[in-house]
Structure 1
Amino acid sequence: MLANSAGVSGLEVCVFDPLQDDLPLEAWQDLSDVAVDPNPFFGPVYLRAYLRHMGPGNVKLLAVRDSLTGRWLMSAPIRIRPAGVLVPVPTLFTTEYGPVGTPLLHPDAGTSHARRFFETAAGKAGILALPHLPLASGAARMLMGLDGADVRVAESHHRACHDGGPDGQAQFDEAFKGKRRKEMKRLLRRLEDEGPVTLETIGEKALPSRFEQFLELEASGWKGRENTALASQSQTAAFARETVTGAARAGRVRIDELRVGETLIASLVLLVDGGHVFAWKIAFDEAFSRFSPGAQLVLHTFQENLAMPEFTLADSLAIPGHSMIEPLWRGRLEIGTLLLAAGPMAAFKTRLCATDLALEQSLRRLARDVRRKVRS
């Protein structure tokens, strides 16, 4: 651990190895529990499981804490990597399995804590990249408001979500009406011809065995054929099992299921954190695709979310334009890559990194187009 206590009185910034044995896990978890913007992917259960099984080895955990009480006030994992293709830059560590880049921010944290976080994370490079960042989050607003920093949103998009309370109910009513409501009910009646239909949420005791069934279902479909299912690789399976087991111990995961008789035909694994629900992984039996099992389950999940005490937001974690979930979850989260720089040539640094990110996006689009042509 490296500690830097200069600056604000009673404040220190620590840089940890997230897997070290003497890490103050309780303080880290306490911050995750009360964070202004819930983010299970920056908490100890998910992050340590991922790094233990998936790597990489150059991730550091930055924590701004009270030097007298040890209370953590702001934290996020960081590594140095190319912003896009060519330009290395300190970057908050996100992955395809956890595409939420919101730093954990304590409700008592203020601008001084955000500044120390930024200055330490940016280091000598004088720039910090925050990918997969919900731009309306409290942490994003605080960082974008830092005096003297050059702020640039390099790329942004919207992904499906839904709200809680009356707004969420209105979104559900809008999504589940008219022709769609008729069609979904008709398909459900047809599905009942195959056997008794059950839509349910799985409790904590049954979670380990039901997650194994999820892994089998996911591997039986197109993800299994493309070798991208969680069970396709031993390390992803181990990481996923450890994540779900740890989250289940704390009551922070649930599995929603659709069954016909004893046959599981759709399963959705959700991480639950601070009134937020994250739709982590979904799978369905392709033999039943004519009944829209994924959509049936997502609508059930919507209703289950609305019934949760203190529920405020569900994040689909889905790619923009997702054909199944976007018509059903009508809210939208703006997600972007935030670039912050300070000091000499700050504006040049953010422009350079933004250009590098744009180049990466262009190359990704080109690769997708090539794959589509090869498949066709």
Structure 2
Amino acid sequence: MINRRKSEPGGFPLEPGSGWPAGLDLQSSVSDGLDGELLAQKAGLDGSNWRMLLYPLAAIETLSEPLGRLALDTENSNPFYHPLCLAAGMHRSFPGDTRLLVVWETIGGEDKARFMLPVTQHGSGYLDHPYLEAVSSPLIPLTDPLLLGEDTEDFLSSFAELCRVAFSNGLPPLRFPFLNAGSCLTRLAWQGGFHGFTVVAQPAGRMQSIGRLDVAGPGKSDTGRLMAHRRELDGMGETDYERAGNPLDVLLRYEEFLLLESSNRTMGSTLPLHRLKKMAAFARQTVYGMAQQGRCEIFTLRVSGRAVASLVMLRSGGSWFAWKLAVSQRYRMFRPDLVLIDAVTGEVASEPDFERVSWPGISVPGLSGICPGSVEQVRLALAATPEVANSLARPGSGPGIVERMRDFFVRS
């Protein structure tokens, strides 16, 4: 039997300089924030004006208010591209040449961000020119942009025209290494008539994920193994399941996560945070800032008060995303990771606004048995010519794992 203790999201704000990381102020002024490099613009039939601009990553603080609204209005969006994460990763986990690609719609004198994507420039190696790629790393496992879902067809039409103009003006090709196949952007690859540039989508694997409408659950053999692991853990002491959502509790649980990770073997994660000070600081500021907005919780499984598994989860709307998992070396043979994952899945799936739980940053043996669902991901490439787009979308394109890890650890 697993007892449950829950810490509610919310809590008091901590003042800068108090020893705790301060969250990004989403109320900052943006009066001077719309002066990035103009790549393209077009006039809409309804009197609106669409613009595509490129900003340095440092502009995230100036643009925090409109991009924060975009993140709030974009249900089930990529939490790793939330302005809080981008601000926390500046000078820590993002390359120095990272830029923000933003599409604005201006109507009635009001600027509204409709699309935002952090990009960095890569050399192609086998092509004669560089290209822009959505930022990804071991800590940024998804590259879906923040994209306002209202008036999707109008947005796609305007976005396609902006890309056509931008490519004709010399914008490098654009590549998404891991994009949800259900994204409206993939429609560009299936719809013709966008003269002046090419869009190509290729399969990029599947991500473990269970949605609200998915009825498949663990099979009999997986359920039996889970019950056996629970009995084994119960036999070693009182088993407690803890859910921390209050910002201060999340910080405390995060420090406990680092201790568990540093003193024991980490399972389901290829990147031990405690070995990389900048990455640990980035994650610390991210979990605190996201917890302030109710977007981060940490789940812990304990045996006789001792943490045996810890899971960091980010959320966006009704969608949950697993980020980091640490497991005790002493108890790992009893699979507390699977017991915790099963408990977390059942917990979040019971909430009224639940849409989906995904595991982009977690890979452990047996996960597919507990979470049998998955979603397809694609590599999406946008370029001025079919040859370049096909080259960037094919398997093995883009920077290799050696280059990615080298750049990542240099920044660490």
1:46 aligned partner: 85
Which of 184, 200, 220 is the aligned partner of 2:226? 184
Change (3 A) 1:259 1:36: closer
- 1:31-180 alignment, distance < 5 Å: 31-35=70-74, 38-67=77-106, 68-83=109-124, 88-109=130-151, 110-116=155-161, 118-119=163-164, 122=167, 124-125=170-171, 127-142=173-188, 145=191, 147-148=194-195, 149-164=197-212, 167-168=213-214, 170-171=215-216, 174-175=217-218, 177-180=219-222
Distance 2:288 2:166 in 1: 31
Q: CA deviation at 1:272?
A: 0.6
- The amino acid across from 1:141 in the alignment is R
Tell me if the contact between 1:5 and 1:12 (Cα under 8 Å) persists in the aligned partners.
yes
Which structure 2 segments of 5+ residues have no match?
1-35, 406-412
Tell me if the contact between 2:203 and 2:379 (Cα under 8 Å) persists in the aligned partners.
yes
Tell me if the contact between 2:42 and 2:158 (Cα under 8 Å) persists in the aligned partners.
no
2:57 aligned partner: 18
1:374 aligned partner: none
Q: CA deviation at 1:247?
A: 0.4
Q: CA deviation at 1:124?
A: 1.4
Change (3 A) 1:292 1:252: same
Change (3 A) 1:356 1:136: closer
- 1:138-287 alignment, distance < 5 Å: 138-142=184-188, 145=191, 147-148=194-195, 149-164=197-212, 167-168=213-214, 170-171=215-216, 174-175=217-218, 177-204=219-246, 205-223=248-266, 228-287=271-330
Q: CA deviation at 1:301?
A: 0.9
Deviates more, 1:125-134 or 1:272-281: 125-134
- The amino acid across from 2:112 in the alignment is R
Distance 1:106 1:349 in 2: 28
Q: Helix, strand or coil for the counterpart of 2:370?
A: coil
Percent identity of paired positions between Structure 1 and Structure 2: 24
Q: Helix, strand or coil for the counterpart of 2:396?
A: helix
Q: CA deviation at 1:187?
A: 2.1
Q: CA deviation at 1:183?
A: 2.5
Give the aligned CA root-mean-square deviation in angstroms: 2.8
- The amino acid across from 2:183 in the alignment is S
Cα deviation 1:170-202 (Å, max 9, x = unaligned): 22xx31x42322232222122112110012322
The TM-score, its normalising length taken from structure 2, stands at 0.78
Distance 1:182 1:107 in 2: 42
2:41 aligned partner: 6
Distance 1:84 1:246 in 2: 38
Which structure 1 segments of 5+ residues have no match?
368-376
Q: Helix, strand or coil for the counterpart of 1:20?
A: helix
Cα deviation 1:76-124 (Å, max 9, x = unaligned): 1122113577662111222221221112111235223322553477561
2:18 aligned partner: none
Change (3 A) 1:98 1:21: closer
The TM-score, its normalising length taken from structure 1, stands at 0.85
Q: CA deviation at 1:354?
A: 4.2
Cα deviation 1:245-281 (Å, max 9, x = unaligned): 1101111001111100110000110001121100001
Change (3 A) 1:227 1:139: closer
Cα deviation 1:337-356 (Å, max 9, x = unaligned): 111223xxx11112333468
- The amino acid across from 2:260 in the alignment is L
Distance 1:196 1:300 in 2: 16
